[in-house]
């Protein structure tokens, strides 16, 4: 059984590295819990919440530079 787990992990890692970039984020103590709480209340994951916030910021700043 153990070999299957390792093989599936390797397969997932290979897929993820081919299709995703990993972005490391550092925050102050307690930020993760605060973000998790808000994301959960919105019915989303921490990752999805952060990516959506980044996209919103990019759009706002893009609109500011166009003015």
Query: Does residue 14 lie in a domain region?
Result: no
Domain count, the chain: 1
Residue 36 backbone phi and psi in degrees, to 5? -60, -40
In Å, what is the CA distance from 21 to each residue of 15, 16, 27, 61? 11, 8, 19, 23
Helices (H), the chain: 2-19, 31-41, 46-66
Query: Does residue 1 lie in a domain region?
Result: no
Per-residue pLDDT reduced to its tens digit, 3-29:
567 999 999 999 999 999 999 999 999
Query: Does residue 3 lie in a domain region?
Result: no
Query: Does residue 37 lie in a domain region?
Result: yes
Query: Does residue 43 lie in a domain region?
Result: yes
Place of tokens 């590295």: 17
Query: Does residue 32 lie in a domain region?
Result: yes
Instruction: Assess whether pLDDT exceeds 70 at residue 53.
Output: yes
Instruction: Assess whether pLDDT exceeds 80 at residue 1.
Output: no
């Amino acid at each position: 059984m153990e070999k299957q787990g390792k093989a599936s992990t390797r397969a997932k890692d290979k897929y993820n590295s081919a299709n995703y970039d990993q972005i490391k984020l550092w925050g102050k103590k307690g930020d993760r819990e605060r973000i998790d709480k808000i994301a959960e209340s919105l019915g989303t994951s921490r990752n999805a919440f952060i990516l959506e916030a980044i996209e919103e910021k990019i759009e706002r700043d893009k609109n500011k530079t166009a003015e």
